[in-house]
Each structure stands twice: as C-alpha cells, then as structure tokens.
Amino acid sequence: MSTIGSFEGFQPVALKPDGDDQPSEGDSLPVDEGSSGRDSVPSRMARQPSVTESVLYPNPYTRPHCTRKYFVTRPGAIETAREDLRNHVAETMDEVVQGFWLLTEVDHWNNEKERVVAITDNTLLICKYDFIMLSCVQFQRIPLSSIYHICLGKFAFPGTSLDKRQGEGIRISWGKSKEQSILSRWNPWSTEVPYATFTEHPMKNSSEMFHEICKMSAFTANLVPAVQNAHKTSSGPGRGKGVMVSTEPILIETYTGLMSFIGNRNKLGYSLARGSIGF
C-alpha cells in the first residue's frame, strides 16, 4: 500500500471505555519545545478570572458616572469656594477661618440644601455657594457665643410624613431658648428659624478629599470646643452659661412632606447638571 505522508509526530492514544470522563495520560496538551511541563500549569491558571479584581470592586471612591453631575466635584470648584470664603472672612470680619466643611442643611420643612460651613475665631458661617457660577449667594453668620444647644441624633418625623429621612444629623440652636414662632414654623422660606440642622453631603464617598470635608464627626469635633471657648471668652450677657451638648432624636415637623418629597428626590437644593431641556 502506498503511504500519503509521514506521521512520526503522532502518538497512539488509548481509547477510554464509555462513561469514563477522567483524562488519560495521553490526553495532555502538547508542550512547546524548550519549556517543561511545569510551565504549562501557570499558563493555564493565568487564563482563569482574577479573584483580586472581584474584591476591589465596587470601589466606593470610583463612581465617576454618578459624581460628575454634582458641580462641587468638578476640578477646582471646592478649592475656589474655600478661597472665596477665606477672602470674605478676612475682608469683612477680620478673622481667621479654622476649618471648612461641605454639608447638607435640612431646613424645618425637610428640604435639602447644599452648604459650605466654616468655623472662624468667633463665628459659625453658613454659606450658600453657587458651584455653577462659582460665587457666594448668601451668608448667615452665627456668633459662637450665642449657641446654647448642640443636639446629635437620628432624625424623627411625625407618622403622616411622606418623606421620612434616615440617618443622623446635628442641630445647632442659638439665641434665646424659646420656641419657634408659629409664623416662621409654617413658612418654608422663613429666615428667622433659630437653629440649623445638618447632615452629611451625598458626595462624601466620592473621593478621599470629600470624605474628609463631608464628615459629620469631624465638624462636630471642631464645633463643640470652639463654642465652649467662645463662651469662656465672651463678655456678653450670656457669659458663663456655656453650651449644652445632648444626644437625642432630631424632630422635623413635616406632617405631609409633599414639597420636600418632590424637591429632595430631584436634588433641587444642589448645584446639579440637569441635562438638556430643549431638543
């Protein structure tokens, strides 16, 4: 018989009986010349999915598709806000800023508002900052010596409220310890509310820098001793009374909460990219 070609490279393979799924000695993959059988094991293992990648994700600091819509996270935005506030304090108040924080103010109608908060030598400064136009829109100055109560705790709401907030916050009360007037309580735009309530900003975990400036515990740790020191050095009528720090639920009296339900779901209190309105 005539032969078609030489097949010296082929080796005989023993047939396995039916039902035997175990590999035989002759089923091993061919190995390149110059490499040993031990080198083939790592090459097969390298093609397997990496276990390390599954552990690293999701990374709480890597969410660019969610953070870019907040203008405060744009490069240079928070740095510009700090510089503007520092210059404003130096020119108009002749004081030195001790620290800056980016927080969310929760008003008496449970509406969220993006705020830059600064503590100076004698003042708590609450700034409404436009991160789109990079300009200060509104300032609220509270003398540290006028703060008489700092409350830490979880938020509490009436049973009929539609927008019950989870988490914890801080409420800072100043002036005389008297109840809020009925007119200011039922006016959602009132500026005569004798307290301010804050919670952490949604971008707290967007980066390591925002994790520091949005941390509620860091703000509290700087505010309490600053207020205590202001009471000691104050020469006003309330000198010596000090400040009371308590841990109790923070009540927000929104009995329906429809206005805050719509506003907070759409983040109307933040400098946010809203997308295209026209066509």
- pLDDT at position 27: 45
Return per-residue pLDDT of the chain as tens, 279 residues. Answer: 444 444 444 455 444 444 444 444 444 444 444 444 444 444 444 444 433 343 333 445 555 667 889 999 999 999 999 999 999 999 999 899 999 999 999 999 999 999 999 999 999 999 999 999 999 999 999 999 999 999 999 999 988 888 888 999 999 999 876 667 777 777 877 888 999 999 999 999 888 999 999 999 999 999 999 999 999 988 766 555 789 999 999 999 888 788 888 999 899 999 998 875 544
Q: In a 3-state reduction of DSSP, which class is residue 184?
A: helix
> Based on C-alpha coordinates, what's the Rg of the chain?
32
- pLDDT at position 32: 46
- Cβ atoms of 116 and 102 closer than 8 Å: yes
Q: In a 3-state reduction of DSSP, which class is residue 248?
A: coil
CA distance 263 to 269: 7
**The two structure tokens encoding residue 92:** 């108009």
Instruction: Choose among 109, 268, 257, 106: nearest CA to 186.
Output: 109
Q: In a 3-state reduction of DSSP, which class is residue 137?
A: strand
- Cβ atoms of 41 and 28 closer than 8 Å: no
CA distance 228 to 244: 9
Number of neighbouring beta carbons within 10 Å of residue 170:
21
**The two structure tokens encoding residue 72:** 């405060």
Instruction: Choose among 80, 91, 94, 104: nearest CA to 199.
Output: 104
Q: What angle do CA 264, 182, 257 make, to 5 degrees?
A: 20
Left if phi > 0, otherwise alpha if psi is -120 to 50, otherwise beta: which for 94? left
CA distance 268 to 70: 12
CA distance 88 to 95: 10
Can you give the length of the chain in residues? 279
Looking only at Cα atoms, what is the longest distance across the chain? 121
In sequence order, the β-bridge partners of residue 156 are 251
Indicate the residue type of 2.
S
CA distance 187 to 189: 5
- pLDDT at position 145: 93
- pLDDT at position 276: 58
Q: In a 3-state reduction of DSSP, which class is residue 128?
A: strand
